[in-house]
Chain A
Amino acid sequence: MAISVKVIRRPEAARSSYLRAALKGMSLTFRHMVNPRKVTRSYPEEPTELHPRWRGTHRMEVHADGRPKCVACGLCPTVCPANCIRLVGGEDDQGNRYPIVYEIDEFRCIFCGMCQEVCPVEAIHVGQHFENAEYTRERFVYDLDRLMEQEHPVTALWDPSDPASE
């Protein structure tokens, strides 16, 4: 980016030249005026680049047959510091546990990503997505179907061998 800090030593008053300094400033601003490189990002057209560990809207991973990967173990509502996950688990004939109700209140969520870290089957994830504006507050409670519909890339977990993600 074009922004950098440049320290300028001020000349002594007796030596400073008013006209020359003004013209120098004018030439500097002119060069910036005609320079096509700008720092502004035209946001919707040029999407923001997100860091691999950037945490945003949740996403539920699904099996190939369309079932959620969640096994309703209850770890994520337990670990959630904002208490934004509501989970009601169920069990089918074979004894497989599955979520009957799985809701995340995106308003309550603080996007700490602990649900993703704690999930034993890598079902719930925080993702690299933030454009989730809605017209009503109710729409911010994401139910299971909505979480499974999300398609954005999921957040990379912190790797102890590469703490700065390099």
Chain B
Amino acid sequence: MNELSPTVFLIAAAVKVLAVFTALMVAIMYATWAERRLSAFIQDRLGPNRVGPFGLLQPIADGLKNIIKEETSPATASRFFFVLGPMLSIMPALVTFAVIPFAAPLPTPWGTVDMIVADLPVGVLYILAISSLGVYGIFLGGWSSNNKYALLGGLRASAQMVSYEVGLGLSLIPVMMLAGNVTLTRMVADQQLGLWYILPLSLGFLLFLISAFAETNRLPFDMPEAESELVTGYHTEYSSMKFSMFFIAEYAHVITASALMATLFLGGWDIPFWTGDNFIPYEGGLISGFTAAGDPIPAQLSIWTTLLTLGAFMLKTTFFVVLYIWVRWTLPRFRYDQVMHLGWKVMLPTALAYVMLVGATILVLDQLGVTGGPGFALALTAVSLVATGMFALYLDRGRIITGAAPAGRAARAAPAAHP
């Protein structure tokens, strides 16, 4: 790998920041468009299709409208924090994306440019630290509005964030154990050599998925918003662009969480069944794999592989974004106690047990002399599948649905809240 000179590095970083920010903003715009169109399709409607072809210019019209609209500020609101709320909410959502590798390294005449804004050695920890900061914005917004519904929404947001942060962090520990580090680029490289982590860590993926839904405050966990109970929750008092900022923050969170899931569990920008896109850092250079004799094969970088891998990454991210939307328009909202029940009594113990299970499996395999290769991955896959099956069986007994209802015959006789 030929290193970049400091000047080129600086320019490349600036260009990447600008490009990623712009791409993320455009992606947010079209996430709102996709949300509205897909929700319409699910409800047998057509959705916004008037502004531009297929309504593709609708987000621009929405943005213009939001900028032009009157900006109201409640008389009793705490002005400083009221303005600070949306800012604090949007910042972490955008900043988190910095550590996600989005394509294979790009060869340029000045050296190889990594397609990641900041290749932090502590990528996962950075994400865990930053992404939960978004709740400060939501809570400040809810509290400073001086509105009881907004306050309730903010309180719920913080309670939910605290509860699911634990499950989120714990569900990531198996990933770190398997990858052996917390750098996202290394995790992608590891997944390119072996299986995508979704297979050996299927239960971890499931737990991460559920926690990510809760973290992004999306249905079925949109407690802070809860239109039917809290008007619109924490952003009840917000209008025009300030409201829009909360909205952008929500979709930025969704896209970042989707990209994160794609990176951690679906191999990031890896194209499956093709070794041409494997760029694994090995002894100071990039290799695409090993020969049967164990010799490293040097990687062939080209702009086309970069573009192809970028496409693969976008496809995987889009899949999760669509999943988010699909789930939102399918499942009803949890009751508040059910959310807490699921977070503390189901997710946390399961995640803890799963950490122990994966750790024990790796230890046993280690003792047996299996430290890598197909046997190691397949054994972990089998163990995880059994664990996922048991988790599904446990959920399937209706524990979540009955929630805080008294157990026994009385509970069974009462009409159950059912999704």
Contacts and interface: CB of A to CB of B under 8 A. Distances in A.
Interface in B325-346: 326-327, 329-331
A45 B331 CA distance: 34
A18 B43 contact: no
Interface in A1-58: 2-3, 10-22, 25-26, 28-30, 32-35, 37-40, 42
Interface stretch (B97-105, B257-265, B276-284, B396-404): B396-404
A20 B400 CA distance: 13
Given A10-B416, A16-B418, A33 B398 contact: no
B402 A19 contact: no
Given A32-B41, A32-B44, A38-B45, A14 B326 contact: no
B405 interface: yes
Interface in B366-419: 392, 395-402, 405, 411-412, 414-416, 418-419
B326 A37 contact: no
A116 B399 CA distance: 67
Given A18-B401, A33-B326, A10 B418 contact: yes
B38 interface: yes
Contacts of A28: 330
B4 interface: no
A40 B46 contact: yes
Contacts of A38: 41, 44-46
Nearest to A30: B326
B43 A32 contact: yes
B23 interface: no
B401 A16 contact: yes
B44 A37 contact: yes
A16 B398 contact: yes
B42 interface: yes
B44 A2 contact: yes
A11 B398 CA distance: 11
Contact of A12 (B326, B330, B392, B412): B412
B285 to A, nearest CB: 45
Contacts, number: 83
Contacts of A26: 326-327, 330
Nearest to B220: A22
A35 B43 CA distance: 10
A16 to B, nearest CB: 5
A1 to B, nearest CB: 9
Interface string B302-342: 00000000000000000000000011011100000000000
Contacts of A35: 41, 44
A18 B398 contact: yes
A62 B405 CA distance: 75
A99 B240 CA distance: 56
Interface size class of A (residues with CB under 8 A): 20 to 34
Contact of B414 (A13, A19, A39): A13
Contacts of A20: 396
- In the complex, which of the residues A2, A15, A17, A33 has the most CB atoms of chain B within 10 Å of its own CB atom? A33
Nearest to A15: B398
A150 B243 CA distance: 48
A6 to B, nearest CB: 14
A116 B42 CA distance: 45
Contact of B392 (A11, A19, A25, A40): A19
A14 B412 contact: yes
B275 to A, nearest CB: 34
Interface in A130-157: none
Nearest to A34: B41
B261 to A, nearest CB: 17
B214 to A, nearest CB: 15
B395 A21 contact: no
Interface string B31-44: 00000001011111
B44 A17 contact: no
B358 to A, nearest CB: 22
Contact of B398 (A2, A17, A25, A42): A17
A83 to B, nearest CB: 40
B44 to A, nearest CB: 5
A33 B41 contact: yes
Contacts of A2: 44
A39 B395 CA distance: 36
Nearest to B325: A33
Interface string B192-231: 0000000000000000000000000000000000000000
Nearest to A11: B418
Contacts of B329: 29
Contacts of A17: 396-398
Given A16-B398, A29-B326, 7 more contacts: A11-B418, A14-B402, A16-B401, A17-B396, A17-B398, A33-B42, A42-B46
Q: Which 4 A-B pairs have the closest CB atoms?
A: A13-B416, A40-B46, A29-B330, A33-B41
Interface of B: 38, 40-46, 49, 326-327, 329-331, 392, 395-402, 405, 411-412, 414-416, 418-419
Interface of A: 2-3, 10-22, 25-26, 28-30, 32-35, 37-40, 42
23 contacts: A10-B418, A13-B401, A13-B402, A13-B405, A13-B416, A13-B418, A17-B398, A18-B401, A18-B419, A21-B419, A29-B326, A29-B329, A30-B326, A32-B43, A33-B38, A33-B41, A35-B44, A38-B41, A38-B44, A39-B44, A40-B44, A40-B46, A42-B49
